[in-house]
Structure 1
Amino acid sequence: MKIIAPKPFYFDNGNRAVILLHSLSGTPNDMRLLGRYLQRSGYSAYAPMFAGHGTREPLDILNQGTPAAWWQQVHEAIDFLKGQGKTEFYVFGLSLGAIFATKAVEELPEVSAGGVFGSPLYNRDFKNIRSAFKVYAQKVYALNELDDKKTREKLEEVDQKIDPFLQAIQVETSQITDNLKNLAKPYFIGQGTFDDMVDQTKAKTVASEVSQSDLHYYEAGHVLTINHAHKQLQSDVLNFLEKIEEANA
C-alpha cells in the first residue's frame, strides 16, 4: 500500500483567512476537516506544516523543531496569505499549535482573533505529552518495520533528546501564558472533558484571564478537530468568527 506523506493545505475562498496549526505529533491532516468546513463557510483556510513534521522519523521533530522555527513559520503563513490578497486573519491551534496560535493573537497586529483546542497553557508539566510522544515514536517505528535492535536505538535517542526539547517548549509556553492578562482580542477555547494529554481544568483558568474569552467544553478526548466532537467544534468556531464579523460590520 502506498502511503501518501502529509503536506500543508490551502483552501481558498475569500479575503478572510484562517490559519490552522497542528499538534506535536500531528500534521495538517488533523486540521483538514475544519479547514474544508471553513472554506465552505466563506473563509480561506491555510495549515502550514511545522518543521520536523510530516516524515516517518519522529527524531526529525526533535532535531528540527524548535519554538523559534515554528514561530517563524507563523510569520511566513501570514506573509503567504497576504501575498494571496487576504486582508483579515485568524489563527487557531491544536495542542502545540495552541501555544503559537495564542502568541499570534497576543503579538501580531494583523491577527484579529483566534483560539485553541486542547491547550497546554498553565500546565505545570508535560509528562503526559512526553509519554504520548514516545508511544507515537514506537508506533511509527513499528510501521517502518525496523528490527528490534534499530528500534531500541532510535527510542533511546528519543528518550535522550525529548526532555530538553520539551523544556524549550515549556519556557515558550510560560512566557505566552504570562501575557494572557493583556490579551484584549476575542479568544476561543475548546477543551475536551476526556482529554488525558493536558490538564483540562486549566481551560477555565485561561478563560478567566482573557477579557473576551469564549470557552466551550466537549465530551471528547484531546484531538477535537477529528474525534466525534469535530462537527460541534466546527459549528462553534464558525459562530465565534461570525460574531466577530457582525461586531465589526
Structure 2
Amino acid sequence: MQTKLPEPFFFEGNEKAIILFHAFTGTSNDVRMLGRRLNREGYTVYAPQLTGHATEDVFNLVAPGNPQTWLTDGQKAYDELKKRGYQKIAAFGLSLGGTIATSVLLNNDVIGGGVFNTPIVTNQPITESNVPGSFMLFADQMLKRNGLNDNEIQAQKPQLQTQLTDTLQGIAAINASLRNRINEIQVPFYIAASGQDELVDPTAGEQFADAITTAPVDLNVFPSATHVITVGKYHHEFETTVIDYLTTLNWE
C-alpha cells in the first residue's frame, strides 16, 4: 500500500498572511500544528513544500542545486500570496526553513518574520553538527522502506554522502551570505531557540539575536526543548510566543 505523502497547506483566514517553511528532510507537517493554531487566531497561513521533500526517494533531498532551488521556492511562496491579494505578510521557518524565511524577509516587503532553531549565526559549521549523521540514519530508514537490503543500502551510501555534503555546503553558503546582510533587517524579528537542540548549535539563536542591531528582536529560549520545537513537548508555549510576537507587528 502506497504511503500518503504530506502536502502543502493553505489555511484561509483574514488579510494578515503568514508563510511557514519546514525543515530539511521535513515536510509541511513540521509546521501544521503551528499553522492550525495561527489560523484559529484569524491569520491566513501558507506552508509550501520545498523541492525534493515529501517524496519517497531520499536522493531527491540532496539533488544538485537544491539550496538555490529552495530560495526560489521561498520567493515563489511570497509571490503566490501577493498574487492572491495579500499585502501584509510575515515569514517564518524551522531550521532550514528559517534560512529560507530570512531570505524572503531580506528580499521582499514583509512586515516581520523569524526563525526556529536556524543556525545562521553559529560557531559550529553545519557539516560538523549532528545533521549529517541524522540524515544518514533517516536515509537508511527511507531506503529500507523502499525495499532495499543492507548490501544495496551500503552501495548507495557513498553517492548519498557526496550529495549530502554538497547540499550542506550549499546551505552553509546561503547562511554566510545572510550573515553579511544582517544589518539590512529593518522589521521586528522573532527567534526561537531550543536549549536541548540535538541537531544544531543550541546557542545559534542567541548569537543571531546579538548580531541584529538594526531592528527589534523577540528572542525566546526554551531551555528543555529539542530541535523540532514545532511538534515537540513545548509546542504550546512556543506557539504562544509566536502569537504574542505577531500582535506587535504593524498589520495596518
In the superposition, the TM-score normalised over structure 1's length comes to 0.94
> Distance in 1 between the 2:240 and 2:48 partners?
22
Partner residue, 2:121: 122
> Distance in 2 between the 1:236 and 1:220 partners?
14
- 1:51/1:64 contact within 8 Å kept: no
> Distance in 2 between the 1:186 and 1:24 partners?
25
User: Gaps spanning 5+ residues in structure 2: where?
Assistant: none
Measured against aligned partners, the alpha-carbon deviations of 1:83-110 in whole angstroms (never above 9, x if no partner) come to 222121000000101111111222212x
Over aligned residues, Cα RMSD in angstroms?
1.5
Query: Following TM superposition, by how much is the alpha carbon of 1:234 offset from its aligned partner in structure 2, in angstroms?
Result: 0.9
Partner residue, 2:46: 46
Query: Following TM superposition, by how much is the alpha carbon of 1:238 offset from its aligned partner in structure 2, in angstroms?
Result: 0.7
Q: Does 1:207 align with 2:209?
A: yes
Partner residue, 2:220: 216
Q: Percent identity?
A: 30
> Distance in 1 between the 2:92 and 2:65 partners?
19
Partner SS state of residue 51, structure 1: coil
Query: Following TM superposition, by how much is the alpha carbon of 1:143 offset from its aligned partner in structure 2, in angstroms?
Result: 2.3
> Distance in 2 between the 1:243 and 1:191 partners?
20
- 1:51/1:65 contact within 8 Å kept: no
> Distance in 1 between the 2:44 and 2:65 partners?
26
Partner residue, 2:177: 175
Partner residue of 2:144 out of 142, 145, 151: 142
> Distance in 2 between the 1:200 and 1:212 partners?
21
- 1:129/1:197 contact within 8 Å kept: yes
Partner residue, 1:240: 245
Q: Which letter maps to 1:66?
A: N
- Matched ranges for 1:45-194 at <5 A: 45-63=45-63, 66-109=66-109, 111-123=110-122, 124-126=124-126, 127=128, 128-194=130-196
Q: Which letter maps to 2:114?
A: G
> Distance in 2 between the 1:23 and 1:85 partners?
27
Measured against aligned partners, the alpha-carbon deviations of 1:145-202 in whole angstroms (never above 9, x if no partner) come to 3112221122222112211221111111101012113312111100111002111112
Partner SS state of residue 223, structure 1: coil
In the superposition, the TM-score normalised over structure 2's length comes to 0.93
Partner SS state of residue 151, structure 1: helix
> Distance in 2 between the 1:138 and 1:31 partners?
24
Partner SS state of residue 244, structure 1: coil
User: Gaps spanning 5+ residues in structure 1: where?
Assistant: none
Moved over 6 A (4+): none
- The count of corresponding residues between Structure 1 and Structure 2 is 246
- 2:11/2:44 contact within 8 Å kept: yes
> Distance in 1 between the 2:25 and 2:77 partners?
20
